[in-house]
Chains A and B, each alone.
Chain A
Amino acid sequence: MIELKNASFSYGAGSTVRDLSFTIDAGEFVAILGANGAGKTTTVKLIDGLLKPTSGSVLINGKDTAVTRVSERARQVGFLFQNPDQQICRNTVREEIAFGLTAVRGDLGEDGIRARTDEMLREFGFTGEEEPFSLSRGQRQLVALASVLAVQPEVIILDEPTTGLDYLECAHIMDMISRMNREQQMTVIMVCHDMEVVLDYARRALIISGGQLIADGPVEQVFRDEALLARSSILPPQIIGLSLRLGAGFEQVTTAEEAAEAVLRLRTGKEAAE
């Protein structure tokens, strides 16, 4: 469980968040939304303890991040950065995955680490001999994700995981994460600009605007609050935007499928009335 209690962080004129208070339970899938520069990345770095709050506190499983070290927490909390190149530091994909494991999963032993590495390679479809820096950006993002997931963290934080990826790569990564969320109760906290991805995968949304938390609720409910979205410069996913415009008969519509069904339903209703 992650608890933020009035956590604030300020650094010069740059990244600032004020008075953040919220709780994220094990197994949740949370999206953090907001405009560029609203403080989303600062928020997730506070959660991981990469940044220490200048006031207030952040607790992971009851332990204050101000007193524990980030490297010790890596076993519990995995962090996928926006730029995979900052994460990758080995010459082959196999070494890269084993590197993270060796750092935090000494308990597995040499054989355990080898077995776990093989498992991840299979799962992600790598041979292990690829050189990370000759792969495409999307493939490198997958390598970085594989080495984070290999240690089986309780929580994973994703900072714009889909930036620079094409649709298939994006779906591949999100499906993988979504499965770990369902099957192993892994908590997912995701900063994301693609509202369609948020709608498809996340269950709860937090909106940060000007460094403050201005909304917290189920994804769909947040996307239907037009005044709120306008205030935080967020555009709703297309079909929700459409359903807001169409009004009566389309209130519950979130997907193209549902929209088409609503149209058919309303047409039959009209024919019956006539």
Chain B
Amino acid sequence: MAAETGTPTTLTLKSNDDELFSVAESAAILSVTIRNMVEDGCAGGVIPLDNVDGKTLASVITYMNGISAIPADEEKKKSYRDKFLSDKDFETLADMVLAANYLNMSCLMDAVSAKIAQVMEKKSVGWVRRKFGIENDYTPEEEAAVKEEHKWTFEGVETDDDN
């Protein structure tokens, strides 16, 4: 990381609903998008983040500060991430994954994706379709095949061993 030592530099980030946030440069450059801007020298004034709303950005900044305060200890960082995401609802996770992608923060991206995967696993296909706004585009024949595949996947048999 190219963080300056000495006086800590502060960056000002602006969300797409015009909220302003101050954040230490050393924490903000966890975002590759922001780091590139800093390196290109275009982070002097306010950095507009057009794809992130204030609520999400506040949350991301909490994460940036939290994770950058932890020294290089993967275990601790992981448990921080788990704790950070534990109280986020599914809609918030969507905002987070889009923000993490836009800001190019791979560690957050990975953690959020894993969390989403974890939530989805407990849900039905119908729930996933509704949440993701996905239309079931299978033809009736394909739908039957999906059901068959599903049966194979979820059902086994126990043979009778009493003979």
> Do A and B form a real pair?
no
Using a CB–CB distance below 8 Å, which chain A residues touch chain B?
none
Using a CB–CB distance below 8 Å, which chain B residues touch chain A?
none
